[in-house]
Amino acid sequence: MDLSHIFNSKKFFSISFYAVLFSLLSFSAYSQEHTAADTSHVPATAEHAEATEKDEDISKVILHHIADSHEWHFFGNVSIPLPVILWTDNGLVTFLSNKFGHNDHGTEILDADGTKLVNYHGKFYYPSDVKSADGTYISHDSKGELLNGKPLDISITKNVVSLLISVTVLLIVFIGIAGSYKKREGKAPKGLQSILEPIILFVRDDIAKPQLGHRYKGFMPYLLTVFFFVWLNNLMGLIPFFPGGANLTGNIAVTMMLALCTFVLTTVNGNKNYWGHVFTPHVPWWLYPLMIPVEIVGLFVKPVALMIRLFANITAGHILILSLISLIFILKSVFVAGIAIPFVLFISVIELVVGFIQAFIFTILSALFIGMAVEEHAEH
Amino acid sequence: MILLALNPLVSPDPGLFIWSTVTFLILFFLLSKFAWKPIVKALDERERSIEDALAKAEMAKAEMAKLISENEDLLKEARLERDSILKEAKEIKDQIVNDAKDQAKSEGAKLIEKAKIEITNQKLAAMAEIKNQVSSLSIEIAEKVLRKQFEDQGKQQALVNDLLKEVKLN
């Protein structure tokens, strides 16, 4: 699948669509800020206060949808409880998330096998000794930051379940088509094989080969795994109901893990040339005190940029879609749906493309960074 | 305010980080071993075989063209050869005809010559015969004449006497 010409010819299109995307994003950010300003300034009338509270609720709802959760919510009161696994001061504590009901306001102390816990906004903390003024066992400092301690939460959350589902799908699909490659050796691809083969070839010919040259073979498994992992999870995130709906690639822990993998590969495979470029850059010696720190920072900035790019793009898409839907509730009119739903549809279609593009960008940048690390001859 | 609200989003959750790392690494190793290796290998092999087939087809085409041109050359050569053979044959034929003509001519001439000689010989033989005939006839005639003359004894005596005279004189 040779997509490079599309990327080139449709450059204008992609730029314009990003422009639209960012303008919409900044608009929603602006409106949120605006409402935030409202709350701090004028709690004038009761009606107004109610409206702002509603707005705040909606931004909470949006964030709640994007964030991880200890249960998989379907609709209304229907949800699958997921196992909570905590490494507390008293050792390992496990229970199903619905064991203590759905109180996540931190107003109740939960007793899990002798370990006292409090559920505050879906996260488990050790309760404060005394109840705070707002009725919770959570205490904040003057800046509003939480003071409570927290056990290490290694629960099977919604994102973990989604992760396991996507990994299972990937394993079944690709080990399956590997089988058909063995069975139909030397023959033309068929079925699923012929759908995925162009994409595998795309990763090989348009991502790995241009960035890595003749060394591409050793990095193909990593690049293919990353590409399909990110792509599948981007797409699954767009499905609004089970088994999708978890915002896995829009979760910074996951993108951090992926970026860390690329960073480890880059660092492990970095050759003399690469490190030479970092510690003896091609500049006059008196610039070394400036250049070497810059280069060292550059080593870490690259994976951090990878991490933030994927996280921000996918999260932004989710926030955008949820914000557009929330408009119906903010404006309290069903007619808004006439505008909001086509917009949501439009953004969803864009998100489909973004899902692919972000997987592509993550993979090509990983390949580029690895390529820079294994390059024999610095081109300067 | 907003920043604080976003805060949980940008602070990585250690649990999810651990789970995703473990799962991703397992996925990576399983896929590398059981999926990517055979797939990439099969793709490479198929590509190579296609390239081989194409190269072979190209070679066969070149071979074909070569054969065709060779055939044409052969045909041309054959035609030339045929022409030269025909020409040669014609020449040989002409020569043979000419030779035959010449031979016939010379043979004829020889025969004529021979015939002429024969004729001369025959003529001479006939002449000799005739001469013999004439001489014997004339002898016969002379004999007869003589016989007639010497039928009478006196004449014979006279002759003998004459002859004897002649001998005595000698």
Handedness of CA A111, A115, A117, A122 (dihedral sign): negative
Closest A-chain CA to B37:
A221
Tokens of A92: 């390992």
Give per-residue pLDDT as tens, A261-281: 999 999 998 888 888 888 887
Which amino acid, A209?
A: K
Peptide bond before A221: cis, by omega within 30 degrees of 0?
no
3-state secondary structure of A145: coil
Interface with chain B: mutation pick from A162, A254, A265, highest number of B CBs within 10 Å: A254
Q: Are residues A141 and A164 in the same domain?
A: no
Write down the pLDDT at residue B170.
64
- Please check the confidence at residue A38 and state whether its pLDDT lies above 50: no
For chain B, which residues make up each domain, given as ranges? 12-124
* Cβ within 8 Å, pair A178-B35: yes
- Closest partner residue to A178 (CB to CB) among B8, B26, B34 is B34
Task: Give the separation between CA A199 and CA A192, rounded to whole angstroms.
Answer: 11
Pick left, alpha or beta for residue B152 (phi over 0 → left; psi -120 to 50 → alpha; otherwise beta).
beta
B9: contact with A, CB 8 A cutoff? yes
Q: Which of A137, A153, A169 is the last residue of a domain?
A: A153
Min Cα separation B57/chain A (Å): 18
A180 in the same domain as A245: yes
pLDDT, position A61: 80
Do A143 and A163 lie in a common domain? no
B3 interface with A at CB cutoff 8 Å: no
Chain B positions touching A144 (Cβ under 8 A) are 4
> Once rounded to an integer, what is the mean pLDDT over residues B38-49?
88
Residue A181 sits in the same domain as residue A213:
yes
Decide if pLDDT at B95 tops 80.
yes
- Does the pLDDT value for residue A215 go beyond 90? no
Tokens of B14: 């250690």
Question: Among the three residues A153, A180, A204, which one is the final residue of a domain in this structure?
Answer: A153
Across the interface, do A67 and B9 touch by the CB < 8 Å criterion? Answer: yes
The per-type count for chain B, helices as H runs and strands as E runs, is 4, 0
pLDDT(A6) > 90:
no
Report if residue A74 sits inside a domain.
Answer: no
**Residue A62 in contact with residue A316, Cβ under 8 Å?**
no
Note whether residue A364 is domain-resident. yes
Apex A137 CA angle, B8 and A80, nearest 5: 55
Specify if A192 maps to a domain. yes
Q: Does A108 fall in a domain?
A: yes
Distance from the Cα of A338 to chain B's closest Cα (Å) equals 29
B37 Cα to chain A: minimum distance (Å): 7
Higher-scoring residue by pLDDT: B97, B148: B97
* Residue A190: inside a domain: yes
pLDDT bracket for residue B8 (50, 70, 90): low
- Rounded to an integer, the average pLDDT of A172-183 is 89
Task: Flag whether residue A222 sits within 8 Å of chain B, measured between CB atoms.
Answer: yes
Q: Which of A5-19, A317-331, B119-133 has the highest mean pLDDT?
A: B119-133
Looking at the fold, whether A138 and A163 belong to one and the same domain comes out as no
Cβ neighbours of B20 in A, within 8 Å: 159-160, 163, 248, 253-254, 257
Beta bridge partners of A116: A111
Structural domain including A130 reads 81-153
Asked whether residue B48 carries a pLDDT value surpassing 80, the answer given is: yes
The partner residue sitting opposite B15, judged by closest CB among A154, A186, A261, is A154
* A189 and A115 within one domain: no
Q: A125-171, pLDDT tens digit by residue?
A: 887 777 777 777 777 777 767 777 788 888 888 889 999 999 999 99
ipTM for the whole complex? 0.79
Over residues B89-93, the mean pLDDT reads 93
Inform me whether the C-beta atom of residue B48 falls under 8 Å from chain A C-beta atoms: no
Q: Say if residue A144 is in the same domain as residue A287.
A: no
pLDDT higher than 90, residue B84:
yes
The secondary structure element, H or E, covering residue A152 is: strand A152-153
User: Do the Cβ atoms of A160 and B28 come within 8 Å?
Assistant: no
Q: Is residue A241 part of a domain?
A: yes
Average confidence score pLDDT of chain A: 79
pLDDT of residue A25: 44
State how far residue A184 is from chain B, nearest Cα, in angstroms.
10
Residue A28 has pLDDT above 50, yes or no: no
Q: Which of A153, A181, A201 is the last residue of a domain?
A: A153
Residue B52: list chain A partners with CB under 8 A. Answer: none
pLDDT in tens, B139-150: 888 888 888 877
CB contact under 8 A, B38 and A182: yes
On whether the CB atoms of residues A373 and A215 are closer than 8 A, the answer is no
CA distance B25 to A238: 24
Chain A interface includes B37 (CB < 8 A): yes
Is A175 in Cβ contact with B35 (below 8 Å)? Answer: yes
User: Which of B8, B32, B46 lies at the smallest CB-CB distance from A67?
Assistant: B8
Q: Which two tokens stand for residue B79?
A: 């035609």
Among chain A residues, CA nearest to B32: A221
- Within 8 A by CB and 6+ apart from B163, the residues are none
CB of A17 closer than 8 Å to CB of A320? no
Q: Are residues A148 and A164 in the same domain?
A: no
pLDDT band at A55 (very low <50, low <70, confident <90, very high): low
Q: A6-15, A33-42, A92-101, A233-242: which range is least confident on average?
A: A33-42
Strand residue runs (E) in chain A: 71-75, 78-81, 83-88, 91-96, 110-112, 115-120, 123-125, 152-153
Task: Report the Cα A202 to chain-centroid distance in Å.
Answer: 24
Confirm whether A49 is domain-assigned.
Answer: no
Buried b (16+ CB within 10 A) or exposed e, A266-288: beebbeeebeebbeebeeeeeee
Average pLDDT, rounded, for chain B: 88
Residues A253 and B20 sit within 8 Å (Cβ to Cβ): yes
Specify the number of domains making up chain A.
Answer: 2
Q: What percentage of residues in chain A have a pLDDT greater than 70?
A: 84
**A360 shares its domain with A242:** yes
Looking at the structure, tell me whether residues A138 and A167 fall in a common domain.
Answer: no
